Amino acid sequence: MKALKRSLLALAIAGTFAAGAAQAQISDNMIKIGVLTDMSSLYTDLAGAGSVAAARMAVEDSGIEKRGYKVEIISADHQNKPDVGSALARQWYDVDKVDVIVDVPNSGVALAVNQITRDKGKAFLASGPASSDLTGKACSPNTVHWTYDTWMLANGTGGAIVKSGGDSWFFITADYAFGLALERDTEAVVLKNGGKVLGKVRAPINTQDFSSFLLQAQASKAKIIGLANAGGDTTNSIKQAAEFGIVKGGQNLAGLLVFLTDVHSLGLATAQGLIITNTFYWDTNDQTRAFAKRFAALDKGIYPTMVHAGVYASLLHYFKAVEALKSDDGTKVIAKMKEMPTDDPLFGKGSIRVDGRKIHPAYLVEVKKPSESKYPWDYYKVRATIPADQAFRPLADGGCFLVK
Amino acid sequence: MQALFGQLLIGLINGSFYAMLSLGLAVIFGLLNIINFTHGAQYMMGAFCAWFLLNKAGVGYWWALLIAPVVVGAVGVLIERTMLSRLYKLDHLYGLLLTFGLALIIQGLFRNDFGSSGLPYQIPLELAGGVNLGFMFLPIYRAWVIVASLVVCFSTWYVIERTKLGSYLRAATENPVLVQAFGVNVPRMITLTFGFGVGLAALAGVMAAPIYQVNPLMGADLIIVVFAVVVIGGMGSIMGAILTGFGLGIVEGLTKYFYPEASNTVIFVVMVIVLLFRPAGLFGRER
């Protein structure tokens, strides 16, 4: 009886659309998007509910629903645990008929989702995670890694700092997939540019007190203390570094992954002068500013981070591919996404490489002094633009099996 | 060797937070038999209270040290009067569940309103800067935290273990009916004790605000560790909580130096070992 009711309902829904025949390939007549993100812990502000809002905006702005497609967005909290994230991804794909998973901050969870998505032949649009392994040794024909990655951060921030004289480093690294990848990629950049690494320490994720680690960094006499961590870990280390007089003592901090929300939470008085690599800044042009204003109204006044922007832009492109194919088959859509050039209001024109890496320019920015900030969330000045073809790891170096 | 001194001192500083928080828990458990899982949330509320006072009312750190514990303590009293007091006759477990649920609700509400990245709170000017001790750079604020925590911990211990008021309190836990018969208002005393324990958490929160971000989740991360401290020290033992708090801070500090990857598990390893050999904890009495 229940099955009958459901099929009748499906029939009725299908009947309401004149373009019904065009969607023969859309599974369950519905494009179902699963936003898998951190809703309760250290990455909530930089992704979290904002990523869901960004997904909504993408659906709205793509106009896909006006053309007869049905789209549904669901979301869940992976709690930064790969096991929780994997269970959710499996349930979404198997039971809830989710077609595409987006966001997934936390590389550990993302690597698990990456594998599951591939096994199930679905689609994964990674905006939140950083590990460059997603387009390297763990690359997948079902994943697009949109926003940024550890290689890009290392190359941008690390490269700029070594070239300006910061040639001895000490790493404080978040002890999981992301931190280790970021440390590895940055170390390679430092060594390549003639610098040296004097020491490193692995701090568990979500550490409150970094003073022990900062003391070790201080004792190493390294010129640069590289923070290979993110979110609350980064803000706590920067704040406590100021307390321990690290910068006054002549050492400098390199925040390898610092988001707009981290700067906001630290305040410019503490964060000023930090060098950060970013692929999106809201105050770039009229389109990004318009996006930011709309976004902030939906997300408690938080201005969009590059992760939010990536969720939005990757979904816009995903919809284009779905409409071109008239199918939401994960493997086919991802292949189509790679084939089509990208063009969206936030990242501009770009492309997706065969290994799944989205290519766009990166910006080396410096956090403004409190006196330079003229309006709310006016935090960055752009010091340099790294062109798209240099911002990301060369295709041949990643070790991805899709590259022949 | 120099580095080791530094790590010991850092451990002592973190230990002073553990000590202050576990002290509040131990007072509440030892005298009221309530396992107060809202303690972490109340620590967080203390920090937020300081933030509100500074940013909305222009009231600085020193007044916050006084006002925040009173305000948050009052909230605690309200919780005790309206909810916890109904559970005294039931098993500990009910109080634990209630407070755990409350903690989740409070943290959820704060996270919803303030996000997860936290809010900045600067070190008060009088305590800014630091001194070079030769083996390490000691921020003055951290030194202040150790001293303040030692004073608070030992005065609390003194009041409870060595004064007449403390003896009433302890007697009321052993035999409330008899103490009431002597004309002591036992329910009011219990309520105020709960409020005091909560106030201690809030005080620790205010002291933590300039060091960590004022973050809705700051207590959630800490409460589990603090519970382990209380269990290791012996549930309800005041001196046990204080000494174990400082001691474990040092153990953790040393782990951060020798094997940092294990620094957030070492306390639980110690807990397992202690429970295997002394199930009542290091300073607890078997009941």
Q: What are the residue ranges spanned by the domains of chain B?
A: 8-218
Contact B3 A208 (CB under 8 A): no
Contact A44 B211 (CB under 8 A): no
pLDDT of residue A6: 53
The answer to whether the beta carbons of residues A213 and B14 sit under 8 Å apart is no
Distance from CA of B150 to the nearest CA of A (A): 20
In CATH terms, the fold of domain A19-148+284-360 is Rossmann fold (3.40.50)
Nearest to B253 among A212, A244, A266 (CB): A212
Nearest to A235 among B2, B118, B256 (CB): B118
**A17 vs A69: CA distance, rounded Å:** 9
The answer to whether the beta carbons of residues B200 and B24 sit under 8 Å apart is yes
Amino acid identity of residue B112, one-letter, is N
pLDDT of residue A309: 97
| Helix (H) or strand (E) run with residue A254 in it | strand A252-255
By the 10 Å C-beta count (0-12 exposed, 13-18 middle, 19+ buried), A31 is classed as buried
Question: Which of A195-199, B1-5, B87-91, B245-249 comes out lowest in average pLDDT?
Answer: B1-5
Expressed in angstroms, the distance from the first to the final Cα of chain A is: 52
B137: Cβ–Cβ under 8 A, 6 or more apart, which residues?
A: A218, A244, A245, A249, B130, B131
Contact B263 A212 (CB under 8 A): yes
Question: How many residues appear in chain B?
Answer: 287
pLDDT of residue A355: 96
**A183 vs A205: CA distance, rounded Å:** 14
Q: Kindly list the residues from chain B whose CB atom is less than 8 angstroms away from the CB atom of residue A240.
A: 211
CA A145 to each of CA A30, A65, A121, A386, B17: distance values in angstroms, whole numbers, following the listed order: 24, 25, 16, 18, 42
Token pair for A30:
């519905």
Token pair for B248:
């474990």
**A341 vs A127: CA distance, rounded Å:** 18
**A225 vs A211: CA distance, rounded Å:** 13
Alpha helices, DSSP H only, in chain B? 2-32, 39-57, 61-82, 92-114, 140-162, 164-174, 176-181, 186-208, 218-233, 238-258, 266-277
Average confidence (pLDDT) over B119-138: 88
Q: How many CB pairs below 8 A link A and B?
A: 120
**B42 vs B39: CA distance, rounded Å:** 5
Percentage of residues in chain B having pLDDT higher than 90: 57
Contact B212 A300 (CB under 8 A): no
B213 backbone dihedrals φ, ψ, rounded to 5°: -65, 150
- Please state the ipTM of this predicted complex: 0.85
Confidence of residue B135 (pLDDT cuts 50, 70, 90): confident
The answer to whether the beta carbons of residues B194 and B169 sit under 8 Å apart is no
Contact A207 B263 (CB under 8 A): yes
pLDDT of residue B220: 87
Nearest to B261 among A204, A245, A249 (CB): A204
Q: Kindly list the residues from chain B whose CB atom is less than 8 angstroms away from the CB atom of residue A219.
A: 2-3, 6
Contact B10 A249 (CB under 8 A): no
Query: In CATH terms, is domain A151-278+361-391 a member of 3.40.50.2300?
Result: yes
The rounded mean pLDDT for chain B is 90
Nearest to A265 among B13, B117, B142 (CB): B117
Amino acid identity of residue B25, one-letter, is L
Average confidence (pLDDT) over B217-244: 89
pLDDT of residue A295: 97
The stretches in chain A having pLDDT less than 70 are 1-24
Token pair for B73:
């303590």
Question: In what side-by-side order are the strands of the sheet with A252-255?
Answer: A196-203, A168-174, A224-228, A252-255
B281: Cβ–Cβ under 8 A, 6 or more apart, which residues?
A: B231, B232, B233, B234, B235, B237, B240, B244, B274, B275
Instruction: Kindly identify which residue of chain B lies nearest to residue A266, measuring between CA atoms.
Output: B120
pLDDT of residue B32: 82
The answer to whether the beta carbons of residues A354 and A296 sit under 8 Å apart is no
For the segment B38-59, what is each residue's pLDDT rounded down to a tens digit?
999 999 999 999 999 999 999 9
pLDDT of residue B1: 63
Average confidence (pLDDT) over B4-13: 87
Can you tell me which residue has the tokens 């800490």? Answer: B222
DSSP state at residue A279 = S
pTM of the entire structure?
Answer: 0.85
By three-state DSSP, how is residue A297 classified?
helix
Cα B162 to chain centroid distance, Å, stands at: 21
pLDDT of residue A14: 43
Can you tell me which residue has the tokens 């938080």? Answer: A302
Q: Report the b/e string of B237-254 with b at 16+ CB within 10 A.
A: bbbbbbbbbbbbbbbbbb
A28: Cβ–Cβ under 8 A, 6 or more apart, which residues?
A: A10, A97
Amino acid identity of residue B95, one-letter, is G
| Residue ranges covered by each domain of chain A | 19-148+284-360, 151-278+361-391
